[in-house]
Amino acid sequence: MIRYVGRRLLQSVVVLAGVTITVFVLTALLPGSTARAILGPKATPIAIAAFNHAHGLDRPLPVQYAVYVWQLAHGDLGFSYLLNESVGQLIGERLPKTLVLLTLAYAVALLVAVPIGMMQAVRRNRVEDYGITAVAFLLYSMPAFWLGLILIIVFSADLSILPPEGPQGGVDTYLGQLPALVLPVLSLSLITIALFSRYMRSSVIDNLVQDYVRTARAKGASESWVLYRHVLRNSLIPLITLLGLSLPVIFSGALITEAVFNLPGMGLLFWDAARRRDYPVLLGVTLVVAVATVIGNLLADILYATADPRVRLTGS
């Protein structure tokens, strides 16, 4: 296992180098002057030249990349062209907000989707299965911004029981603003529940017809024992894959939800950086998400082995 993890971590260094080179080259290929995009319509040629010089944009691209890697090796992700903060500071401010929001949303989704999926599988093709399937499809097909606005109109504007925006300020103040977390978390959870419950239902149905289930029943195990001790564990494997793939999402943020609920996290940070050509921020966020992707995949592989003893991880 240790050899396997070590080998995967070494591979990840190559992946991360590839990611940074790709983004670096792509940003250089964009038409138009980066300096003018940053400095605005009133930028003079003098200001543009000064900006390019100050940020090394007047140097050859390989030199710019080498400088970037050198800074990276010293723990410096760079300084935003526009936000007057270091990229490290910006990620430090935004990432905790995103982690709180998305971790809560995924936790709620799992807690609800797993039992729902199991119940649907056990009672498949009955009224309750059809009913939940219809609701799941409805939720899953809803655009996130629309669902968010509906929740705000109902719970904030009409009923006045929840705030119309997410918690403001740093995450250290969130405990005092718990009601403000409800709508953004709910908005993300509802869509995720729809997705997860469908996977869970399908996976449980597949497992219920497996030989080991028949064997367990033949040995006299009760239906609930079979379901919770045998089927549940094996049915979670597709969800583990989904969760592994979701880890980068947790780090990259939920752009629409952040925008609707005035909750600036990693999603908006990345979107604004891409839109406004704030390349240091763009590169920094990309790097963080790439690291999360690599770690997410690795964790998923390790969890497979935990959930299914037949899976063995080797260094070869």
Q: Does the protein bind other proteins through residue 268 (CB under 8 A)?
A: yes
In angstroms, rounded to a whole number, what is the distance separating the alpha carbons of residues 61 and 131?
Answer: 58
For residues 230-259, which are near other proteins according to CB under 8 A?
258-259
Place of tokens 């497992």: 207
Mark the segment that binds other proteins (CB under 8 A) among 107-115, 122-130, 155-163, 192-200. 155-163
Binding residue for other proteins (CB under 8 A) from 186, 263, 289, 302?
263
Binding residue for other proteins (CB under 8 A) from 88, 96, 164, 238?
164
Q: Does the protein bind other proteins through residue 42 (CB under 8 A)?
A: yes
Q: Does the protein bind other proteins through residue 55 (CB under 8 A)?
A: no
CB of 188 to other proteins, least distance (A): 16
Residue (46 or 127) nearer to other proteins, CB: 46
Provide the token pair at 102: 């998305």
Query: Hey, what long-range contacts does 130-139 have (CB within 8 A, 24 or more apart)?
Result: 132/197, 133/198, 135/194, 136/193, 136/194, 136/197, 136/198, 137/194, 138/194, 139/190, 139/191, 139/193, 139/194
For residues 189-228, which are near other proteins according to CB under 8 A?
none
Buried b (16+ CB within 10 A) or exposed e, 266-277: bbbbbbbbeebb
Hey, is 267 helix, strand or coil? helix
Mark the segment that binds other proteins (CB under 8 A) among 43-51, 122-130, 192-200, 207-215. 43-51
Binding residue for other proteins (CB under 8 A) from 32, 60, 62, 75?
32
Binding residue for other proteins (CB under 8 A) from 125, 141, 160, 316?
160
